[in-house]
Amino acid sequence: MAQNSARKTDANRRDKPRLRSFMAATVLYNNGQSTLDCVIRNFSEDGAKLALPAEVALPDRFDLAVPQRNKTYRATMAWRRGGEVGVSLEDASVATLDAVLRQRIRMLEAEIAQLKSRIVQLTEG
């Protein structure tokens, strides 16, 4: 009973209603070098509840890429209970996202080149 009361209080503090959802998203942190897939369980333009593995440590602030909305948000963790995380959201700058994604692409391309080189070494040797 107390838990239902707490949920109602949390919902009443929100400026905008949250809609239930089941959207794929990606958490980006460590300057875009670390990523984590998650599911958005409820969503509004200024907040969301994310489902992700409970054992994963997250920073207090990170970027949340939501492909279905073609948008990335700057997320600030408000609470965490096991595999659920509540976050407040702000629009992330498109320029910031582009820079992070370009950096990540360069890193992945370099890693692919190294792996191809290693495959050649292993198959020729």
Domains of the chain: 2-92 (2.40.10.220)
pTM as predicted: 0.62
Residue with tokens 């890193």: 107
Pick from 11, 64, 8, 70: nearest CA to 40 = 64
Greater pLDDT, 20 or 113: 113
Pick from 86, 111, 89, 94: nearest CA to 33 = 111
The rounded Cα 50 to chain-centroid distance in angstroms is 8
Q: pLDDT, tens digit, for every residue of 60-114? A: 999 999 888 888 899 999 999 999 999 999 876 554 666 677 778 888 999 999 9
- Which pLDDT score, from 0 to 100, does residue 104 have? 82
